Amino acid sequence: MKKKWNIATNFISILLIGFIIYKQAPAVLNNFKKEGSTLTPQEYVDLRTNQKVDFPSKDLRDRSLAIFWATWCAPCKVEMKRLHQSVLEGKLSPDQIYAINSFENESTIRRFIGQSPYEFRFISSPYAVKTLDVKSTPTTILLEGPHVSSMSSGLSFIGIWRAEQYLAKK
């Protein structure tokens, strides 16, 4: 009986892993394709402060991080809490972080911002979502000026460390 249980468990595990790979493969492949691409800097309104901000920076010396998120996305909230903690610890500057949500209406985003402690720049950029073909949330990109250096989707155990190391370099 135990042998049958192990076979069934292994079979279900293999199916589950296969399903996850099947669902994530397009996003992962897209991320690799988009690394090295360039975004055209545009002016946006920061939904938290109502001030105008440029995203991404035109200056190649400016490094920044953009996280594509949604209010209903639990992994997004985890990533944003990690970024916030790094800001509180002085490892990251909130001016280097752009939280981009083009998946929901502005009132939903503003309600979330009003209830959150985050000091990031919150913008809506359908252009960036379309240009980078963002397929899932959270998707995090590291930028050097307007150039995409790295793009990854989902939770990452080393993502915050990578962000801290990358943004600390000048």
Taking only the tens place, the pLDDT of each residue in 109-126 is 999 999 999 999 999 999
CA dist., res. 31 & res. 77, Å (int) = 21
The domain limits of the chain are 2-168
Residue 1 has pLDDT above 60, yes or no: no
Strands 52-55 and 97-100: unpaired
Q: How far apart are CA 50 and CA 53, in angstroms?
A: 9
User: In the predicted model, what is the mean pLDDT of residues 70-87?
Assistant: 96
How many CA atoms are closer than 13 Å to the CA of 62, on its beta-carbon side? 16
What's residue 5's pLDDT? 67
Q: Give this prediction's pTM.
A: 0.84
The string of pLDDT tens digits covering residues 49-69 is 999 999 999 998 999 999 999
Contact between 127 and 96 (Cβ < 8 Å):
no
Domain 2-168 belongs in CATH node 3.40.50.720: no
